[in-house]
Amino acid sequence: AKRSGDTAISFFDRKMESAVKERLQLSQALNHAIERHQLSLAMQPQVNKYQQLIGFEALLRWNHPELGEISPADFIPIAETTGAILSIGDWVLEKSCETLVRWATNSSSKHLKLSLNVSPIQFRRGDFVPRVEQLLKRTGANPKNLRFELTESLMVGDINFIVRQMNSLRQLGVSMSLDDFGTGYASLAYLTQLPLDELKIDRAFVQDLDQRGKGELLTETLISLGRSMNLAVIAEGVETDKQFERLQELGCEFFQGYLFGRPSVDAERYFND
């Protein structure tokens, strides 16, 4: 019994050790990802109730030469602990502005909005707002077409500072969306204080619509809440016609999900003409 116990412990240690090693390897590789041109942005369409294209969400992709495609859900948390998220965030912002400038030359795409995910680490930087302002100036991108998606995890600590940052960005013309709405804590306590333009209903609440009755009560409440605050309400992760129909009945106006299109590095395939 003792022998097998020892074996179990050392196996566990080895597993731990390899997990730590893996993280370390990933974080080192991540430092070179930008300069080695391994990052790209996949664009996922956002539509209105007529399924007309209104914009895109930019989703980061990391193509590692040996490991293949690594999900942002796996590497963003690492990038946040190492600080690599700062240069990665700058890269996403710059690529997005360049994309908007390209879209602005075409009448079928110049109205499109581009939503970016902004990490709390990035947003809490003292110089985040001047950085954004400079980049907009340098690229010539129209701030009206740019939207930042923030998550509820940002709303801890100095909320006044966050509100000031958001106000300054809105003064530049950039709009603000609260991502994964409903999944965080204490949402209601600060919601009315935040200068928001949009609420993004998390995919979990879209899935809840598959069971009628109790399952959809919370979804309905979140949508009504957004509408009563005069915010645009968009649902993410819409996969079925049934979910699309029910969301419309509940007052949701904008939609994103596999039903309308998967994230693609070739956004133009979704353009109307």
Q: Using CB under 6 A as the criterion, which residues of the chain lie in contact with ligand C2E when the complex forms?
A: 44, 59-60, 71-73, 76, 92, 117, 119, 179-180, 203, 236-239, 257-258, 263
**Measured from the CB of residue 1, what is the shortest distance to ligand C2E in angstroms?**
44
**Measured from the CB of residue 76, what is the shortest distance to ligand C2E in angstroms?**
5
**Measured from the CB of residue 8, what is the shortest distance to ligand C2E in angstroms?**
34
**Measured from the CB of residue 237, what is the shortest distance to ligand C2E in angstroms?**
4
- Given the complex with ligand C2E, which of 208 and 236 has the nearer CB atom? 236
Determine the Cα–Cα distance for residues 53 and 199; give it in Å rounded to an integer: 18
Indicate which of Ca ion, ligand C2E, none lies near residue 76 (CB less than 5 to 8 Å, by partner kind): ligand C2E
- Beta strands at 53-64 and 68-70: parallel, antiparallel or unpaired: antiparallel
- Given the complex with ligand C2E, which of 103 and 123 has the nearer CB atom? 123
- Given the complex with Ca ion, which of 143 and 182 has the nearer CB atom? 182
Q: Which two tokens stand for residue 178?
A: 């609260």
Which residues of this chain interact with Ca ion, rule CB under 5 A? 117, 149, 179-180, 202-203, 236
- Given the complex with ligand C2E, which of 72 and 184 has the nearer CB atom? 72
Determine the Cα–Cα distance for residues 150 and 164; give it in Å rounded to an integer: 14
Q: Could you count the other beta carbons within 10 Å of the beta carbon of residue 42? A: 17
- Given the complex with ligand C2E, which of 86 and 218 has the nearer CB atom? 86
Determine the Cα–Cα distance for residues 21 and 55; give it in Å rounded to an integer: 40
**Measured from the CB of residue 85, what is the shortest distance to ligand C2E in angstroms?**
6
Written as one letter, the residue type at 143 is P
Determine the Cα–Cα distance for residues 47 and 253; give it in Å rounded to an integer: 9
**Measured from the CB of residue 240, what is the shortest distance to ligand C2E in angstroms?**
9
CA neighbor of 237 nearest in space, from 259, 265, 267, 209: 259
- Given the complex with ligand C2E, which of 29 and 154 has the nearer CB atom? 154
Q: Where are the alpha helices (DSSP H) in the chain?
A: 2-33, 72-82, 84-103, 120-123, 128-139, 159-172, 187-191, 203-207, 214-228, 241-249
Indicate which of Ca ion, ligand C2E, none lies near residue 71 (CB less than 5 to 8 Å, by partner kind): ligand C2E
